[in-house]
């Protein structure tokens, strides 16, 4: 197989192996920024986390503080409890790194495999989609405020219903355990 054919196959494979939804779910907000954790990035790139971190440490000039940062112990503990990571044996000794969009872009230069490049393109697209969605919601909220000011109280119920539909869905807590036949569902 030629080099070009391998690169095209790797790009196609990365795009089909990693759905955009998975990337979007991996993006978390820390310190007011959208970031990806080193463990998630390593899984997306198909490398071990230690390999990714070593590559970053070998190129410190590419990753200033606004491109990546190490989580504080409190942030790491909070994420551990949110995504149910075991604290037992075999866990990490150090707090994970969080990479901003610019840090992820720099990773493409450090991890220079065809898969890394293809995955990086998909990650950049996910960041752009999130930015567009955020801007779209802000635009809709502004338009709704304008309409609400223009019309009086008679449409308040309609505006309230629209705002409720725009809000992110609330997760219902699921009960654990078994239900008896007498219990309502």
pTM (2 d.p.): 0.57
Query: For residue 14, is pLDDT > 50?
Result: no
pLDDT at 72: 85
Q: Output the CA–CA distances (angstroms, integers) from residue 10 to 17, 29, 57, 126, 145, in the order listed.
A: 10, 30, 26, 19, 47
Q: Residue 99: in which H helix or E strand, if any?
A: strand 97-99
Distance between CA atoms of residues 34 and 23, nearest Å? 12
Q: Residue 28: in which H helix or E strand, if any?
A: strand 28-30
Higher local confidence (pLDDT), 97 or 142: 97
pLDDT at 41: 87
Tens digit of each residue's pLDDT (9 = 90 or more) over 123-181: 888 888 877 877 777 777 777 777 777 766 666 777 777 778 777 766 666 666 666 67
Higher local confidence (pLDDT), 63 or 181: 63
Domain ranges for the chain: 3-132
């Amino acid at each position: 197989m030629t080099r070009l054919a391998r690169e095209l196959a790797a790009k196609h494979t990365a795009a089909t192996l990693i759905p955009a939804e998975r990337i979007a779910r991996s993006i978390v907000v820390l310190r007011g920024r959208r970031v990806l954790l080193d463990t998630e990035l390593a899984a997306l790139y198909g490398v071990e986390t230690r390999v990714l971190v070593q590559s970053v440490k070998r190129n410190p000039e590419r990753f200033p503080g606004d491109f990546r940062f190490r989580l504080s112990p409190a942030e790491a503990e909070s994420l551990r409890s949110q995504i149910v990571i075991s604290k037992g044996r075999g866990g990490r000794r150090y707090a994970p790194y969080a990479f901003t969009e610019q840090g992820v872009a720099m990773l493409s230069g450090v991890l220079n495999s065809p898969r890394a490049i293809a995955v990086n393109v998909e990650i950049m697209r996910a960041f752009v989609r999130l930015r567009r969605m955020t801007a779209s919601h802000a635009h809709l909220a502004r338009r709704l405020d304008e309409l609400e000011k223009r019309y009086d109280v008679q449409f308040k119920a309609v505006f309230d219903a629209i705002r409720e539909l725009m809000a992110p869905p609330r997760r219902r807590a699921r009960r654990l355990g078994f239900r008896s036949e007498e219990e309502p569902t």
